[in-house]
Structure 1
Amino acid sequence: MSSSDPGPRFPNPAQGNSDLAMDISRLLGQATANVVEKNLGLTTAGQLLHQFPRRYLERGDLTDLNRLELGEDATILARVVSQHTRFMQKRKGTITDIVIKDNSGRPADLAISFFNGYTAKKELQEGVLALFSGKVGEYGGRQVLTNPGYVLLPDDELAEHEAELQAARPIPVYPATLKFPSWKTADVIEALLPVLDLDKVPDPIPKHIAAREQLMPLPEAYNEIHAPTDMESWPRARKRFRYQEALALQTALAQRRLAVMKQDATGRPPVHGGLLDAFDAKLPYTLTAGQQEIGALLASEVAQGHPMHRLLQGEVGSGKTVVALRAMLQVIDAGGQAAFLAPTEVLAAQHLRSISALLGPLGEGSLLGGTSATQVTLLTGSMPAAVKKKALLAAASGEAGIVIGTHALLSDNVQFADLGLIVVDEQHRFGVEQRDVLRAKAHKPPHLLVMTATPIPRTVAMTVFGDLEVSELTELPAGRTPILTYVAPLSEHPSWESRVWARTREEVDAGHQVYVVCPKIGDAPDAQDIPADKTDARPMTGVLETLEYLRTVPALAGLRIEMLHGRMDSARKHDVMEGFTAGEIDVLVATTVIEVGVDVHNATLMVIVDSDRFGMSQLHQLRGRIGRGGHPGTCLLVTGLERDHPSRKRLDAVAATIDGFVLAKQDLEMRREGDILGARQSGGVSGLRMLSAVKDEALIGRARQDAIRIVELDPDLEFHPALKLEIEMYLTEQNEAFLERG
């Protein structure tokens, strides 16, 4: 068998049958099955067996209490150093206060309170080693646990021989909740392992791949991942399941890509002498090499009889809109229409302005498929009824070749004459259901171009957007200047605050404009809440309060200062953006509503208040709004955090580079990976069990190539039933949402 052979030559359906598909109730009883389903949402032996530990603890390696995060569900290995029980003052009963410590040698400790904790009082004596599980809270300025779950552990110094052997084993730590701590999952899996015939569980990884990767045999891996004999065995088991997960994920994505390729789409070949040629002839600048290369690629894919599915990512200002517009014009030349889906009304209106400006007279016509001109139409939810009716008619009749809109495009009453291309801007803000609603408005599956200005490391792109082909624009068009970024740490230099606003004044006096960005809208203060001595007032995190404050700063006297945020009505937002674009506003105080797409060439300075509240990629996105007109741009990251605060590292990283892809990778390394991978869209987890999109880049790449070869030769996995079963177990509801985000 060659090294590229995907596996067995003949189907063996029995290979896919195993105890993994069996209901937990048949193995452990209905009562246990009910508890597991209620707390973990798992129903089969395979799902439970794949509830892998997050980490492992050695009994001598106590948890570093300095690393606990407020609000997290923590599993803590620690030793009791003191205990005190007192009566409650306002009601009957007692509170038992426990103090636990780690072995770091630092003075860190953690207070634990048990209300009427009679058992805890008896068991948690000084010197006892225990595993605690609960949500980290705060009381009196220090971190605390209240009524946590706990389990006592045998202590090496006190244990008998058999207990010593048990004490030498690492402790697996599973994802936990208050009602179902880590050790309950461990207990259930400990009961499950002996009743399964692991030797009969089919291996989803073809033998030649397992040999190449030097993977631990599957039965041994299941035992060592859940009940490791020592601290050296579980990493080898984890390596096996990392590859197994990568292969399952990439095979599922390869099947999706193949399914797309089999769909019948309307090809939209270029038309000589059409709108696209006329647009290229009037373009006042030369496209970058990257724009030309990707433009040619899109032109060939849009001309095919199966749907294009492509992700175009590039830095802010790299020229993605021009590339997308050229693809839209090719579709219009061939008789189709293009829908441009934007996440906010401000961004949709901005795209209308920029696309209309690029097209000029070419965007003022009304002939669908004509060579003279087309019409660009805006459709948003807040438009007046008469204007909306006109836009709906233009889309349905085909009069509008390009329809730009927000979620309003998804409404049932929106119809197209012949929808040929969908362009989705900032895909991470949309779910697959929304995208599919729009696709359903076409007679045949339309071509799809997804764009993002949030740089995504390639491994993340091929993991999260694995059913899309990925292209990157890495060059900046001529005239764009690098943005200088500085951290303004007010904790160390309080006087720098006044310098920030003096710098703002200097920029306006030089004929430019300034953004001041705040992390939230805030609440309008009552008159009595404004300090009498307004010169001493500090800038606040809310837009409303910051606006009022800036109007009192002497250095900014006489400047035209306005605000922009999501709670303003659409007409007011439109007027403010028009005023800022026209140079009628000097300083715009805004939320992240200006994060993407807002394009004011005269804006050269951005002040980000409480910059530590933003993620690294978001800060990078925000600063991309300045320096767009050939003038140098400066971004000031204002923070009140102390120098040694962890979030200061993120600010220093943003200030150190303008390469968004470098920042995105650092962001992945510094933060919880799920945030980057879209946890908030998929129920709070990244969708990855064992994989790390940063650390396992090479592994994911190999698995992707293996998956492509397997699916090319066996698209329905008829010869790979164990891999098919693995995918079925992997694709829980959360992971379906995770996969579908592409």
Structure 2
Amino acid sequence: MPRGEAAPSLDRLPVTALRGVGPRMAGKLARLGIESVQDLLFHLPLRYQDRTRILPMGSLRPGDQAVVEGCIELAEVKFGRRRMLLVRLGDGTGQLTLRFFHFNASQQASLQRGVRLRCYGEIRAGGATLEMIHPEYQAVSDAAPPAVETHLTPIYPTTEGVHQLTLRGLTEQALALLAADPDALPDWLPSELLEGLGLPGLAEALAVMHRPPAETPLEALLADGHPARRRLVFEELLAHHLSLRQLRQRAQQTRALPLAGDGRLRSQLLEGLGFLPTAAQRRVAAEIEADLQRPHPMLRLVQGDVGSGKTLVAVLAALQAVEAGAQAAVMAPTELLAEQHCRTFAAWLAPLGLEVAWLSGKTKGRARRDALAAIADGSAPLVVGTHALFQEEVTFARLGLVIVDEQHRFGVHQRLALRDKGRHGEWHPHQLTLTATPIPRTLAMAVYADLDTSLIDELPPGRQPVQTVVIPDSRRAEVVQRVERACAGGQQAYWVCTLIEESEALQCQAAEDAAQQLGEALPGLRVGLVHGRMKAQEKEAVMAAFKAGDIQLLVATTVIEVGVDVPNASLMIIENAERLGLAQLHQLRGRVGRGAAQSSCVLMYHPPLSRLARERLAVLRETSDGFEIARRDLELRGPGEVLGTRQTGLLQMRIADLLRDQAQLPRVEQVAGLLLERHPQRVAPLIRRWLGERLRYGEV
């Protein structure tokens, strides 16, 4: 580098500037998202090994990860089903056997009696002594023993062809560059903020995370007890929050067609309902009505528990768009749920003289051509469908409102595609998202900072909580009798079959077998069957017969999880309930308890139950509150699964954990406001550091 020229900032210094990184290694590192030296410094360890102390063999316990040192007392090759090399070590306090399944002649020759070894590995229970299998080892000389490590050894996320030693060597170089010039990696958090939060500077935090001193408590480093970790967690949460705030700001600067409407269609609908919307439904509908009249796109999330009446709120929003001369599109994640929405919308809107267009992946031939033409020329004011709605050939005449049900079950790019379909030059469609997976408020602050949120926190009058019991499948005969009694008393029942296998074919087979067995056990009952492999018309016919009361017991797979509404059904049996997540069990249970009769749900399990399964089933027995269930589901499974963001990239955090670190979120929100107000120029580089190219992901 020419004299006097400033060293490049580490966010712009390519990783190829480090020793040992040629084009091939750079390609492998790119698979880990490492292209600059900054990327390398923010590629943080998953865990650590303590190689800072040599432990006496007499103190070891199975499961320990340890460094030991001793003399070889015995080395032999054992022949059995597979050849293995056994090496017995002793250090005066105890003995340890090293077991090698893969070894060569030179390795065998080097491991002779009397040689002193230092080894690192996991301690396991063995026959005569404790064991290490394929440990890391080196011969040591009494004259010049190698020094033990002075810091904890980091273990990094890696990929094929990139060894831990490679990553340690490269981070060593990166840390040396940072130590030589701490300003080469700008700290975007102002010093006055850091002092107020009691957090260390960036260079110090990174040095501790990559090379923790020997005395650093491991638990604090891996949880949230260490200031270095807290510093980086805070910065990552802040970057995510700011990215969502920016998206919200950008949305408010874009334009949308104000959809005022004259209220005529909505009044007609409400008059013909035969029941009054709840106060919560009226409040949320008013919030949406005000949003749709504004000249920038509505971005609103409606959360409501199972059976709280989100669909009515969505229909009212769609009618407002239609009154204003625009089209509305409703997208649901599964064929069955989309069909249910289509039927509900059609039944409510037919008396108003409105037709609902239907489009799914299974819509073929003439029906597809007609639907596409009606969507394109605007004669279909309302369209309901699955992800087929965002295929390239679908064009809308004047899409003003996009309603997405259970948004988290769609991939990010799919949702973006539908939003882009409604774009006319500088105009964007309004967007309404519905979910029956309630998200605790602290999490919603992090995940949905770009959305306004509404809550339907009231069930329709007359709804009674569903009584839930948990019993082993050895009492199946009692459950069958209970079904017989309920149906004899004029009620209807669901029998849900679940299988752990992903195969839809096997699930459907299990449901068919169950329907046959129950039909034989209950000859006096009319038993129906519905599963995912049936044709749409067959499914519809069975569901219509069940709704009309012609079928008393409906055997089904989990396809009935959402959207099915049969008020007379008061008993739900779920087989192998231990195989389903809390949210899914809560959704299924929500299919009963929709009428005036007291309803029950029987969770039948196959013993023995794992600890996690026992906890899940206990939660359902204790509460029917969707928010409490969502909170417990988060504790048991983590946010990635509950929010369905595994596939989106939006929440794949490097060091933060939304559940564990949620106590920091209110402060993150506060600091984000201060940063935008006082240091707006620092926002973009901070977001880029943590999210890189994933920014467009949030534009949904």
Report if TM-score (shorter chain) is over 0.5: yes
Q: Could you tell me how far apart the structure 1 residues matched to 2:26 and 2:443 are?
A: 36
Distance apart, 1:546 and its partner CA: 4.2
Q: TM-score, normalised by structure 2?
A: 0.83
**Which amino acid is 2:280 matched to?**
G
Bigger Cα Rg: 2
* 1:19 aligned residue: 10
2:154 matches 1:172: yes
Contact 1:342 1:348 in 2 (8 A): yes
Distance apart, 1:321 and its partner CA: 0.8
2:684 matches 1:724: yes
- Which of residues 22, 32, 39 is equivalent to 1:47? 39
Distance apart, 1:704 and its partner CA: 2.4
Aligned residues: 658
Give a deviation string over 1:60-99, Cα, whole Å, max 9, x none: 8999988xxxxxxxx966989999854465xxx7345899
* 2:487 aligned residue: 508
Q: Could you tell me how far apart the structure 2 residues matched to 1:111 and 1:519 are?
A: 46
Q: Could you tell me how far apart the structure 2 residues matched to 1:83 and 1:739 are?
A: 60
* 2:568 aligned residue: 602
Distance 1:86 1:17, change over 3 A: same
- Which one is further off, 291-300 or 545-554? 545-554
Gaps of 5+ in 2: 90-95, 125-130
Q: Could you tell me how far apart the structure 1 residues matched to 2:540 and 2:267 are?
A: 33
Give a deviation string over 1:374-416, Cα, whole Å, max 9, x none: 3222222323523333333332333332211112222333232
- Which of residues 266, 271, 274 is equivalent to 2:257? 266
- Which of residues 425, 428, 447 is equivalent to 1:464? 447
Distance apart, 1:123 and its partner CA: 7.4
2:243 matches 1:252: yes
Contact 1:601 1:626 in 2 (8 A): yes
**Which amino acid is 1:421 matched to?**
L
Distance 1:80 1:279, change over 3 A: farther
Q: Could you tell me how far apart the structure 1 residues matched to 2:283 and 2:75 are?
A: 70
- Which of residues 333, 340, 362 is equivalent to 1:343? 333
* 2:549 aligned residue: 583
Distance apart, 1:677 and its partner CA: 4.0
Contact 1:379 1:405 in 2 (8 A): yes
Contact 1:351 1:404 in 2 (8 A): yes
Contact 1:270 1:299 in 2 (8 A): no
- Which of residues 259, 284, 290 is equivalent to 1:294? 284
* 1:667 aligned residue: 633
**Which amino acid is 1:728 matched to?**
R
* 1:422 aligned residue: 402
* 2:661 aligned residue: 696
**Which amino acid is 2:39 matched to?**
Q
* 1:8 aligned residue: none
User: What is the SS of the residue equivalent to 2:517?
Assistant: coil
Which aligned pairs between 1:162-561 and structure 2 lie closer than 5 A? 163=147, 166=149, 169-176=151-158, 180=162, 182=164, 184-196=166-178, 197-200=180-183, 201-229=185-213, 230-232=215-217, 234=221, 235-272=226-263, 274-362=264-352, 365=353, 374-442=354-422, 443=424, 444-490=427-473, 494=474, 496-520=475-499, 542-553=507-518, 555-561=521-527
Distance apart, 1:447 and its partner CA: 0.2
Contact 1:129 1:153 in 2 (8 A): yes
Distance 1:161 1:30, change over 3 A: closer
The CA RMSD measured in Å over matched residues stands at 4.1
Distance apart, 1:446 and its partner CA: 0.5
- Which of residues 64, 70, 83 is equivalent to 1:94? 83
Distance 1:97 1:606, change over 3 A: farther
Give a deviation string over 1:15-54, Cα, whole Å, max 9, x none: 9972233111102342494375166341111111111123
Q: TM-score, normalised by structure 1?
A: 0.79
Gaps of 5+ in 1: 1-13, 67-74, 101-108, 137-144, 366-373, 526-539
Distance 1:546 1:287, change over 3 A: closer
Q: Could you tell me how far apart the structure 1 residues matched to 2:364 and 2:644 are?
A: 34
Give a deviation string over 1:490-547, Cα, whole Å, max 9, x none: 4xxx2x122222222222222222222233497999xxxxxxxxxxxxxx98341343
Distance apart, 1:608 and its partner CA: 1.8
* 1:6 aligned residue: none
**Which amino acid is 1:203 matched to?**
D
Distance apart, 1:712 and its partner CA: 5.7
**Which amino acid is 1:268 matched to?**
L
Contact 1:465 1:739 in 2 (8 A): no
Give a deviation string over 1:133-164, Cα, whole Å, max 9, x none: 9xx9xxxxxxxx9997x545999xx9999845
Higher RCO, 1 or 2 (CA under 8 Å, sep at least 6)? 1
**Which amino acid is 1:619 matched to?**
L
* 1:69 aligned residue: none
Q: Could you tell me how far apart the structure 2 residues matched to 1:677 and 1:16 are?
A: 43
Give a deviation string over 1:336-394, Cα, whole Å, max 9, x none: 111111112211111122223334511xx2xxxxxxxx322222232352333333333
User: What is the SS of the residue equivalent to 1:731?
Assistant: helix
Distance 1:542 1:159, change over 3 A: farther
User: What is the SS of the residue equivalent to 2:534?
Assistant: coil
**Which amino acid is 1:207 matched to?**
S
Distance apart, 1:696 and its partner CA: 2.2
* 2:128 aligned residue: none
Contact 2:122 2:132 in 1 (8 A): no
Contact 2:376 2:397 in 1 (8 A): yes
Distance 1:439 1:40, change over 3 A: closer
User: What is the SS of the residue equivalent to 1:391?
Assistant: helix
Give a deviation string over 1:596-643, Cα, whole Å, max 9, x none: 212222222222222222111121122111111233222222222325
User: What is the SS of the residue equivalent to 2:600?
Assistant: strand
Which aligned pairs between 1:73-88 and structure 2 lie closer than 5 A? 86-87=78-79
Distance 1:110 1:375, change over 3 A: farther
Q: Could you tell me how far apart the structure 1 residues matched to 2:637 and 2:256 are?
A: 41
- Which one is further off, 472-481 or 644-653? 644-653
Contact 2:468 2:603 in 1 (8 A): yes
* 1:37 aligned residue: 29
2:622 matches 1:656: yes
Distance apart, 1:710 and its partner CA: 3.5
Distance apart, 1:306 and its partner CA: 0.3
2:535 matches 1:569: yes
* 1:371 aligned residue: none
* 1:625 aligned residue: 591
Contact 2:175 2:207 in 1 (8 A): yes
Q: Could you tell me how far apart the structure 1 residues matched to 2:62 and 2:614 are?
A: 21
Distance 1:316 1:398, change over 3 A: same
**Which amino acid is 1:688 matched to?**
M
Q: Could you tell me how far apart the structure 2 residues matched to 1:239 and 1:24 are?
A: 27
